[in-house]
C-alpha cells in the first residue's frame, strides 16, 4: 500500500541531507530503539519463550524435577477423553458464540446511537454522556448490577414479568442459553459508549457538502446513509470491528461475576477456563498450552482482519 502525498519526491534528498549533517552514523536509529528493544526482550520475548518452555515440561515451581513432556499438554487438548479437551473446546465454543452475537450488536447499536446523537437534538451532550458513562464502571460493578437485574427471584426483569405482565419468572442465571442474556445485554450497555464516541468522531469528519449534493439529486435518507455515510465510515467501522472482536475474545470478567461460568460451564469463557486450570487446579503447563493454542487462534483472526483492512485501504486508494 502506498499513499501518494504531494511533495514526496523531495523527501529522500532532505533525509539524506539530515543524516549526513548531524547524526553521522547509520547506527543512531538503532541506539534510539535499544531501550525499547530491551523492554521488548524482557517483557515480551522472554515470557513467551518461558511460557513455551513451561507448556512442554511437567512444570511446577516447587517441583524438584521438571521433566520434558514435549507436546503432551497440547495433545491432551485434542484427545476427547481428557477433561481439558472437553472444557477447553467448550470454552472456545462459548467465547465464539459470545463474539458472534455481541459484535454485530455492539457495532449496530453504537452506530445507531451515534447517528441519533449526531443530529442537533435537544439535550445532545447529556445523552452522549449518559451512554458513555457505564464504560467507566469496573467489570465487577457492571457484573453485580446485571446479575441483580436478571436474578431468578429478586431481579427487576423477573419482577416486571411477574408483577406487571402476569408471566412466570424465567430462571436466567441457572438455565443454559438464557444465562447469556444478562451477559450480552450487560456488555452492550457497558461498552456501547466507547464505540459510539468513535462513530461520532467519524461522522464529524464527513463533509456536509456530500449530503447537500445528494439532496439536490433528491436522495432519500436511506440512500444518503447507504451511499455516503456507510462507505465513509468504513475505516471507523473496521477499527471498531477489530477492537470489538479482540475485546470479545478476551471475555472474562462479565461471565465470572454474572454466572461464574455456569450453569454447567455453559458460559465459561476460554480465559476463565485457562485461569481455573492454572490457579485453581495448579496445572500451569496445561494452562500454558491452552494459552498458546488460544493465542494462535487469535493470531489467525487478527491476520485475517489485517488482510481485510489492507484490501480496504487498497480499494480506497
Partner 1 sequence: MNRTVKVTALLLAAGLGGVAAAQTSTYKGPKVTLTYLHGFTGADRPVMERLIAQFNAANPNIEVKAQAQPWGTTWQQLPSLVASGRAPDVVVINEDQITNFVARGAVSPLTNAELQAAGINKSRFYGPLFKTADYEGKSYGVPISSVAYVMFYNKDLMKKSGVSKVPTNRTELLAAARACTTDRNGRKPGQSGFDPKALNTWGISLYNNWVGSRLAYAAILQNGGSLVDKNLNASFNSPQAVEGVQFLVDLVQKHNVARPNSTEEAELAAFSQGKVCFFPSGQWYLDRFEQQKMNFGVAFVPRIGTKQDAAWGGSSHMTLPKQRAGYDANKRRAALAFVNWMTSPTQNLAWTEAGSLPVMPAVANNKKFENRPIAGVFSKLGNIYATSGFPWGGQVLGPFDNAWANAYSGKQSVKAALDAGVSEANKQIQQARKTFQ
114 binds partner 1 (CB under 8 A): no
Please report the DSSP string for 215-235 in residue order.
HHTT--HHHHIIIIIHHHTHH
**Residue list 173-232, contact with partner 1 (CB under 8 A):** 173-175
47 binds partner 1 (CB under 8 A): no
- Nearest-CA neighbor of 113 among 101, 102, 127, 126? 127
- Whose Cβ is closer to partner 1: residue 279's or residue 303's? 279
Angle (nearest 5°) at CA 213 between 212 and 219? 90
2 binds partner 1 (CB under 8 A): no
Contacts 24+ apart (CB under 8 A), 45-54: 51/288, 51/291, 51/292, 52/288, 52/292, 54/284, 54/285, 54/288
CB atoms within 10 A of CB 301: 15
140 binds partner 1 (CB under 8 A): no
148 binds partner 1 (CB under 8 A): yes
| Piece of 47-55, 78-86, 122-130, 189-197 that binds partner 1 (CB under 8 A) | 78-86
264 binds partner 1 (CB under 8 A): yes
Q: Are 256 and 143 in contact (CB under 8 A)?
A: yes
Q: How far is the CB of 286 from partner 1 (least distance, A)?
A: 7
| Piece of 38-46, 179-187, 234-242, 258-266 that binds partner 1 (CB under 8 A) | 258-266
**What's the length of the chain?**
317
263 binds partner 1 (CB under 8 A): yes
CB atoms within 10 A of CB 164: 8
Q: How far apart are CA 297 and CA 305, in angstroms?
A: 13
Lookup: cell for 29: 536509529
| Piece of 15-23, 134-142, 259-267, 300-308 that binds partner 1 (CB under 8 A) | 259-267
Q: How far apart are CA 113 and CA 303, in angstroms?
A: 30
- Nearest-CA neighbor of 248 among 89, 57, 95? 95
Q: How far is the CB of 74 from partner 1 (least distance, A)?
A: 14
| Piece of 62-70, 97-105, 218-226, 295-303 that binds partner 1 (CB under 8 A) | 62-70
- Whose Cβ is closer to partner 1: residue 244's or residue 286's? 286
138 binds partner 1 (CB under 8 A): no
4 binds partner 1 (CB under 8 A): no
3-state secondary structure of 239: helix
Angle (nearest 5°) at CA 129 between 123 and 135? 155
82 binds partner 1 (CB under 8 A): yes
279 binds partner 1 (CB under 8 A): yes
Q: How far is the CB of 88 from partner 1 (least distance, A)?
A: 13
For partner 1, the binding residues (CB under 8 A) are 58, 60-64, 76, 81-84, 147-148, 151-154, 168, 171, 173-175, 260, 262-265, 276, 279-283, 286
Amino acid at each position: 500500500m502506498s499513499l501518494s502525498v504531494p511533495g514526496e519526491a523531495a523527501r529522500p534528498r532532505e533525509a539524506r541531507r539530515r543524516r549526513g549533517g548531524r547524526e553521522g552514523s547509520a547506527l543512531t536509529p538503532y541506539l534510539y530503539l535499544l531501550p525499547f528493544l530491551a523492554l521488548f526482550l524482557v517483557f515480551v520475548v522472554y515470557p513467551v519463550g518461558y511460557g513455551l518452555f513451561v507448556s512442554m515440561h511437567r512444570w511446577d515451581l516447587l517441583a524438584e524435577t521438571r521433566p520434558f513432556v514435549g507436546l503432551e499438554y497440547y495433545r491432551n487438548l485434542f484427545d476427547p477423553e481428557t477433561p481439558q479437551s472437553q472444557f477447553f473446546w467448550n470454552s472456545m465454543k462459548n467465547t465464539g458464540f459470545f463474539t458472534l452475537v455481541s459484535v454485530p450488536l455492539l457495532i449496530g447499536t453504537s452506530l445507531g446511537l451515534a447517528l441519533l446523537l449526531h443530529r442537533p437534538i435537544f439535550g445532545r451532550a447529556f445523552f452522549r454522556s449518559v451512554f458513555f458513562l457505564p464504560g467507566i464502571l469496573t467489570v465487577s460493578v457492571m457484573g453485580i448490577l446485571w446479575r441483580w437485574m436478571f436474578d431468578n427471584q429478586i431481579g427487576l426483569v423477573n419482577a416486571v414479568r411477574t408483577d406487571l405482565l402476569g408471566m412466570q419468572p424465567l430462571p436466567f442465571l441457572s438455565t443454559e442459553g438464557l444465562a447469556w442474556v444478562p451477559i450480552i445485554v450487560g456488555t452492550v450497555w457497558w461498552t456501547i459508549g466507547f464505540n459510539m464516541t468513535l462513530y461520532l468522531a467519524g461522522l464529524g469528519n464527513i463533509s456536509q457538502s456530500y449530503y447537500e449534493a445528494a439532496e439536490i439529486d433528491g436522495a432519500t435518507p436511506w440512500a444518503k446513509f447507504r451511499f455516503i455515510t456507510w462507505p465513509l465510515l468504513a475505516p471507523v467501522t473496521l477499527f471498531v470491528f477489530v477492537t470489538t472482536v479482540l475485546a470479545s475474545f478476551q471475555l472474562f470478567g462479565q461471565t465470572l461475576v454474572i454466572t461464574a461460568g455456569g450453569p454447567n460451564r455453559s458460559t465459561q469463557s476460554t480465559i476463565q477456563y485457562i485461569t481455573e486450570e492454572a490457579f485453581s487446579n495448579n496445572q500451569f503447563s496445561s494452562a500454558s498450552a491452552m494459552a498458546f493454542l488460544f493465542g494462535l487462534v487469535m493470531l489467525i483472526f487478527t491476520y485475517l482482519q489485517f488482510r481485510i483492512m489492507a484490501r480496504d485501504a487498497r480499494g480506497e486508494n
